[in-house]
């Protein structure tokens, strides 16, 4: 037993890095491969978009069959799904969630409010759109957008 431990301690690491595959080098940098972990951030919406997101992940539209899954922490996420105009109270938490998301990361702005503040434009508590606070990769338009549109946008992110 001691000889086994001695061998382990004296040998050190012998693993070599995996060779790069040709398919990884030719992959589209805008498409996330495999399953996509999504963190939803409500930046100040009226909850209309949240209802449609819940429907998109429900049993009828079932976004999980395409590899999209909601997670509870931005540290586990590949995509931030942001709804609503960004309010003063949510500006800093949105930035922190964006910074906590590991690279490569994507930001999806859901709804007209996330795109142009919608009916909340000019409100005293509204800082601006999602694109004013963090860089946005995909915008899903609609007030609220339909679940099949949300699922289609998530499928485009995964390349499926």
Q: What DSSP string describes 31-78?
A: S--S-EEEEEEESS--SHHHHHHHHHTSTTT-GGGGTEEE-S-GGG-S
**Domain residues of the chain, as ranges?**
33-158
**Hey, which CATH number is domain 33-158, 3.40.50.12280, 1.10.10.2120, 3.30.300.30, 1.10.10.10?**
3.40.50.12280
pLDDT band, residue 103 (cuts 50/70/90):
confident
The predicted pLDDT at position 10 comes to: 77
The predicted pLDDT at position 127 comes to: 92
Residues 6+ apart with CB under 8 A from 93: 41
Q: What percent of the chain lies above the pLDDT cut of 90?
A: 44
pLDDT band, residue 57 (cuts 50/70/90):
very high
Q: How far apart are CA 50 and CA 145, in angstroms?
A: 10
Average pLDDT over residues 47-67: 91
> CB-based burial of residue 14 (10 Å sphere; 0-12 exposed, 13-18 middle, 19+ buried)?
exposed
Paired tokens of 160: 């499926």
pLDDT tens column, 74-91: 998 999 999 999 999 999
Average pLDDT over residues 63-76: 89
Residue 13 has pLDDT above 70, yes or no: no
The predicted pLDDT at position 26 comes to: 45
């Amino acid at each position: 037993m001691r000889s086994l431990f001695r061998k382990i301690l004296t040998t050190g690491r012998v693993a070599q890095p995996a060779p790069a595959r040709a398919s990884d080098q030719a992959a589209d940098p805008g498409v996330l491969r495999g399953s996509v972990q999504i963190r939803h951030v409500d930046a100040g919406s009226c909850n209309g978009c949240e209802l449609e997101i819940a429907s998109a992940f429900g049993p009828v539209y079932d976004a999980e069959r395409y590899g999209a899954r909601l997670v509870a922490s931005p540290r586990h996420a590949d995509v931030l799904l942001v709804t609503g105009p960004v309010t003063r109270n949510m500006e800093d938490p949105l930035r922190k969630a964006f910074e906590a998301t590991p690279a490569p990361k994507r930001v999806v702005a859901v709804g007209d409010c996330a795109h142009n503040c919608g009916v909340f434009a000019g409100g005293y508590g509204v800082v601006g759109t999602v694109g004013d606070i963090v860089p946005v990769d995909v915008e899903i338009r609609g007030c609220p957008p339909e679940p099949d549109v949300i699922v289609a946008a998530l499928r485009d992110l995964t390349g499926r």
